[in-house]
Structure 1
Amino acid sequence: MKRIAILLAAGAAALSIAAPAAADPGRHGTQPGFGQATLTGFASLPALTFVPGSEPSGSSLGTAPVNGVTPPFPGQPVQGFSGIVRRHDGTFEVLSDNGFGNKANSADFLLRVHRVKPDFAAKSVQVLGGFNLTDPRGLVPFPLTRKDRTLTGADFDVESIVRTVDGTYWIGDEFGPFLLHFDRKGRLMEAPIELPGVRAPENPNLNGAQPNLGGSKGFEGMARSVDGRHLYPLLEGTVAGDPAGTLRMNEFDLRERAYTGRRWTYRLDSSSHAIGDAIAVDADRFLIIERDNLQGDAAQVKRIYLADMRDKDGDGALDKTLVADLLNIADPRGLGGAPGTFRFPFQTIEDVVILDDRTLGVLDDNNFPFSNGRTPGKPDDNEFITLRLTGGLKADPRVYR
């Protein structure tokens, strides 16, 4: 979840509106891409959706209306979808991020995994339940916000999630950055695991040392290898001393519970961009969402790339092939509105899942109540779309079966 909030709403109005930027196949090692993807499904969860019977939230946001919504809120918003897990029964688990944008204002936001079911015929999303993230065994070695050890957005900024073969969950955090391991009920199973040599300003173990990563620029994306042996967490920010616009992807061994020392580089099209999610396609390739920090008509770059570890062009970074331009989606049936071109113009798009070899699911992080990329002055809903690609990914079948 990245934070332009009210400032972007004002700043975007001052921008000259540009047409969506086309991918440049010769830029930063990008290979010729797929053609225009087609919208095959659209479903939406209203922004003002709260966990039934949950605690109030947003007490640190003041009392001025934001996009027509006045904090504090009567419950915990079902928002900020920053990671997704497919359950193969028509439902998905989605991870809410740290809450309202930063550590200081999210102490009353409870970190949670929601179970949702999109109904593309009705264009709606049903929330079936979920679980909060907790640390009942006291494994987090630094002080937490709550005495009951329910984790909040002031403790961690959770942005990526995978489920392993034993049914447990690994979640990537941006404040450390840390890897967090939870059981099926959301209870922490191990102490947070740091990334050696990399610390964000929010890291509780700095002890006066200088951070070498930007605030909340830790593990925005994380993929699980198709054989279930490794995790591949991808930083959102550039580590100090690395070339501008380059992001580190590290390999973590799930058996050894340690980083292997292997590392790759993902190069952004522009150093002003960010990544939103990463998912394995096979042993060598990943889908990675890359975006600018704009929304609505001002948005120019919302893309899904196929990134290849093998670096065939030898430029020292993952090879990139454009798979889908999310600002230029064919919608001949008008599933997302009027027939024509459908745009997914959200500031933060943080979820991609492979449904079959030519179909992707994509979700936004609505940054409730701040982002208004769909309708100015109105908080964004959580949208769930499916896309049909012009060609197959040639993915390992294990990623979608």
Structure 2
Amino acid sequence: MKRLSIAVLALAAGLAAMPAHGAAADRDRASLAGFASLPAETYVPGSEPSGSQLGTAPVNGVTLPLPGQPIQGFSGIARRHDGSFDVLSDNGFGAKNNSADFLLRIHRIRPDFQRGTIDVLGGVNLRDPRGLVPFALTRADRVLTGADFDVESIQRAVDGTYWIGDEFGPFLLHFSGRGELLDAPIPLPGVKAPDNPSLGSEQPNLGRSKGFEGLARSVDQRRLYPLLEGTVTGDEPGTLRMYEYDLRKRRYSARHWTYRLDDPSHAIGDAIAVDRDRFLVIERDNLQGDAAKVKKIYLAERRGTELVKTLVADLLDLYDPRDPSTPFRFPFQTIEDVIILDDRTLGVLDDNNFPFSSGRTAGRPDPSEFIKVRLPRRLHADPRVYL
């Protein structure tokens, strides 16, 4: 870990010293503008052990089970307006049947791009003290776990509450700023995944863990736009549905739009609004390290019922001002967080799938990295995206 810390600080120092706009940058390529990292083996202080269902054989050098709740699996990010961010940990260890001792949590972090580090400032566990979830939960105290929901996307409303997209249902979930569920889980009409607790004898029409990977909030704060990660049965392979949920009427509208993956084997990692009709979408393959080929951010514009894509950043080919001859690569299996920092700069984070993924260094668990990506041209985003 000491060697990793030295490398992180060296990278951060190099980025801090670089010209503000990457003086010699390729004008058609996005650039690396900042880097910060959280070590893989970082745990919530004083938290319960976890990973008891993962066996006892070490994974990427990590001893199992784990001594606490790992601060990992960042699958969504939201702004807090003081230089810090809320980041959402997903269902834990990748499946419903191995994540019952992983407590769902929103962490508050602050990246320090000068030092190349990420400070963890606290967070809240997600829970259902009012008994709004209509099916049995894992824990009697109604603290939510990765066996209850697979939370993958988040938006923070102006009233301080959180809207979260789940993959098991898929469901929309509404929480207070203290992590308390405010409404019963909101199902998606006509679509059920295999882990949906109300499936019964029905056949699922969405793949396992293919629910709401993206969740955009309209710039006028009136609607949510959840984006599925998988194709609904009967739709053209490689097409994903983006829905519209009216926050005032508390119901879905009859409209949805189609996002087309470059390849049906790909997946999306996140989706956020740029303005009324444009969204940023992360699209990726399922590979890591040197094998990774597709880790991209697209600008997707609504035209009729389609989302028409334009590439804005290739995360495997970022101009690196410290070494213009060698691109900086963000080679993680799952990249699931994007946020607009300013009109030409994005914040991007990986979901490190701790302890399983090793895209940065083979045989070692991936850290959680937060990079700043400077785009080759302005987004012309609606100013309300910063609210």
TM, length-normalised to structure 2: 0.92
The higher relative CO (CA closer than 8 Å, separation ≥ 6) is in 1
Are residues 1:327 and 2:316 paired? yes
Aligned partner letter, 2:222: R
Select the residue among 367, 375, 386 that pairs with 1:381.
Answer: 367
Q: Aligned partner of 1:225: which letter?
A: S
Q: Match for residue 262 of structure 1?
A: 255
Task: Quote the residue 1:307 is aligned against.
Answer: 300
The match for 1:253 among 246, 249, 252 is 246
Deviation at 1:333, TM superposition (A): 2.5
Structure 2 counterparts to residues 133-282 of structure 1, below 5 A: 133-282=126-275
Structure 2 residue runs of 5 or longer lacking an equivalent are 1-26
Using the size of structure 1 for normalisation, the TM-score is 0.89
Residue 61 of structure 1 aligns with which residue?
54
Distance 1:145 1:198 in 2: 24
CA distance in structure 2 between the partners assigned to 1:150 and 1:208 by the alignment? 28
Q: What's 2:65 paired with? A: 72
Q: Shift of residue 332 of structure 1?
A: 1.1
Deviation at 1:339, TM superposition (A): 7.3
Residue 238 of structure 1 contacts residue 246 of structure 1 at CA under 8 Å; is this kept in 2?
A: yes
1:66-105 aligned within 5 A = 66-105=59-98
What is the SS of the residue equivalent to 1:104?
helix
In structure 2, what is the Cα distance between the partners aligned to 1:88 and 1:189? Answer: 24
2:353 counterpart of 1:367: yes
* 3-state SS, counterpart of residue 319 of structure 2: strand
* Structure 2 counterparts to residues 8-47 of structure 1, below 5 A: 35-47=28-40
User: How far apart are the structure 2 equivalents of 1:243 and 1:93?
Assistant: 35
* SS of equivalent to 2:327: strand
Could you list the runs of 4 or more consecutive aligned residues of structure 1 that deviate by over 6 angstroms after TM superposition? Answer: none
> Whole-Å Cα distance in 2 between the matches of residues 35 and 238 of structure 1?
32
Distance 2:114 2:158 in 1: 32
Give 1:364 deviation, angstroms. 0.1
SS of the residue 2:384 aligns to: helix
Q: Report how far residue 78 of structure 1 moved.
A: 0.1
Q: Following TM superposition, by how much is the alpha carbon of 1:88 offset from its aligned partner in structure 2, in angstroms?
A: 1.5
Q: Distance in 2 between matches of 1:185 and 1:208?
A: 37
How many angstroms apart in 1 are the aligned matches of 2:121 and 2:159? Answer: 22
TM-superposed CA distance for 1:341, in Å, is 1.1
Amino acid at match of 1:331: D
Encode CA deviations 1:162-187: one digit per residue, 9 max, x unaligned.
01121110000000000000001000
Question: 1:126 & 1:177 partners in 2: Cα distance?
Answer: 32
Contact 1:328 1:343 in 2 (8 A): yes
For the aligned residue pairs, the C-alpha RMSD in angstroms reads 1.1
Amino acid across the alignment from 1:317: E
Count of aligned positions: 361
Offset of 1:340 from its aligned partner?
3.1
Identity of aligned residues (%): 75
Deviations 1:308-334 (A, max 9, x none): 0125xxxx5211000000000011136
Q: Residues of 2 paired with 1:365 and 1:200: CA distance? A: 22
CA distance in 2 between partners of 1:349 and 1:157 (Å) = 16
Contact 1:224 1:280 in 2 (8 A): yes
